[in-house]
Amino acid sequence: MIDIVVSGVLFDMDGTLVDSTAVVEATWTDFGHEHGVDPDEILAFSHGRQAIDTVRRFLPDLAADEQQRIVAALVARETAATDGILALPGAVMFVQRLAELGVPVALVTSAPRELAAGRMAAAGLDLPEAFVPSEDMERGKPHPEGYLRGAELLGVDPAHCVAFEDAPAGLESAVASGATTVVVGPLEAPVTVGLHRVSDYTGLSVERDGDAFRIRG
């Protein structure tokens, strides 16, 4: 249950607004098999992080240009794979309600611009004007730069924002930014202790509350 008053909303994408699990797991599993790395280890690390950070973690001895080539191939594959991409339950209606009320909204994702735009469209979600893809971050999650940048684009103090996240790296990023942080889904980890939680967006409501907005559910 949540009952919070905020002036802006910050969303992660994969696993938070969009269910892309099948595509992501297939891509990284093939990567693991190709390079002799346990796919389970890759998936445990990669969730919520930029692809380049995962490639550097598991193939640290490769030259930087070869790491970038691998990332480009991974991203191209994921961008082309839109079958099975779905919005989380209630996400479309919740995002539409935020737009109706004029709530400032930003998307902060570890995915690159083209991939994020394609996944949002495939899931039936509008891409907000305030958008922080991986290209716009010097330091990816778990560093707070992305969420700080998202709040800056909204013109809202991060402390007056709520961030919806599902992965450990993203949650660390959101918490460090100073935003009120909501765990989306079942993750249990040290970073989730004491945080707000929702299983999805079904039953969430948002109403104007003076100059701010109250989100309940």
**Which amino acids are annotated catalytic?**
12, 14
User: Which residue has 């797991």 as its token pair?
Assistant: 25
Instruction: Sort strands 180-184 and 196-198 into parallel, antiparallel or unpaired.
Output: parallel
Count of helices and strands (H, E) across the chain: 8, 11
Cα-Cα-Cα-Cα dihedral sign, residues 57, 60, 64, 68: negative
CB burial of 93-106 (b: ≥16 within 10 Å; e: otherwise) equals ebbebbeeeebbbb
